[in-house]
Amino acid sequence: MTNATRFGHVAIVGRPNVGKSTLVNRLVGQKVSITAPKPQTTRHRVTGIITEARGQIVLIDTPGLHQGGKDALNRQLNRTARSALEGVDLILFMVQAGQFGPEDEDVLRLLSQVEAPVVLVVNKVDLVNDKTDLLPFLAKVGEKGDFAEIYPMSARRRRGLDGLLDLVFSYLPEGPIGYDEDQVTTAPVRFMAAEIIREKLARSLHDELPYQTTVMIERFEETDRLVTIGAVIYVARAGQKGIVIGNRGSRLKVVGQQAREAIEHLLEKRVMLDLWVKVADDWADDERSVASLGYQLPE
């Protein structure tokens, strides 16, 4: 018997809308707390850390599994996605039960270039009424790649979360945990605040959201009772500004209100949130501006 802990980095990849954020929130929300990327983790964008007695799982975000445009940002995102997948210990490739389309094929293609074991996570099984329908699907998608395991679950219904954690831990190498627990629980939340704002915006805009939208936190001041946050939503073109702001500011107001409430919930403190929308002129086509907005350019 050994009491050694396990520690490793795990990337969750999959086409948009498959349930990745839901899974991260469920895993992180249920087990510990949320963290922001530390300066030294330049290669990996950390979205959450799960700490248990048996070890620590660092969840990695892979921006850039986008399709479509061939502009600088898109190329950059794909490079970022590939480099984010280098050096991870495990990849969770998420698909939706009963669906495997061209977007899933694209993600799969990206995965063929990486070395880490890939677990095929089949999410939203709650949407499949007759579970016997699931078996042929699992068999079919299972043959599309070299998967270490196939794991059906439902992130939204919280079905299969504990099993997934067991599975993930079994793939992580033994080693000391990389983040101390204090740091995890008191970690900076600027990054999360930006993600929350972007998420509320995405929900409000549905498919209208231009993927070149970036949220930057420009001000973050915390006192015992109040957190004051100033954030800028950058859009690529002037025409998109109106979409984000909405009729007489209605959309921005709703997004701001929802984001504020979510951040208050996260911080357990009152939050003052100021949102601005700015046009970052053509930054999607300018690699230097892309870098200055937070995406790293490869050497």
Ligand X SMILES: Nc1nc2c(ncn2[C@@H]2O[C@H](COP(=O)(O)OP(=O)(O)OP(=O)(O)O)[C@@H](O)[C@H]2O)c(=O)[nH]1
Binding residues for GTP: 14-21, 61-65, 123-126
154, β-bridge pairs: 159
Shortest separation between residue 53's beta carbon and ligand X, angstroms: 27
Cβ proximity to ligand X, 107 vs 172, nearer residue: 107
Report the residue number, 61 or 89, with the smaller CB distance to ligand X: 61
Minimum distance from CB of 127 to ligand X (Å)?
5
Strand positions, DSSP E, the chain: 6-13, 45-52, 55-61, 90-96, 118-123, 149-152, 214-222, 226-235, 270-279
Query: Given the complex with ligand X, which of 37 and 230 has the nearer CB atom?
Result: 37
d(CA 147, CA 296): 30
Residue owning tokens 């970690």 = 187
The sign one gets for the Cα dihedral 59, 298, 107, 64 is: positive
Least distance to ligand X from the beta carbon of 54, Å?
25
Start-end of H helices in 128-234:
134-142, 161-171, 181-185, 190-205
Q: Can you give the binding site for ligand X, defined by CB under 6 A?
A: 14, 16-22, 123-124, 126-127, 154-157
Hey, what amino acid is at 135?
L
CB of 189 to ligand X, least distance (A): 19
Looking at beta carbons only, is 156 or 190 nearer to ligand X?
Answer: 156
Q: Which residues are annotated as a binding site?
A: 14-21, 61-65, 123-126
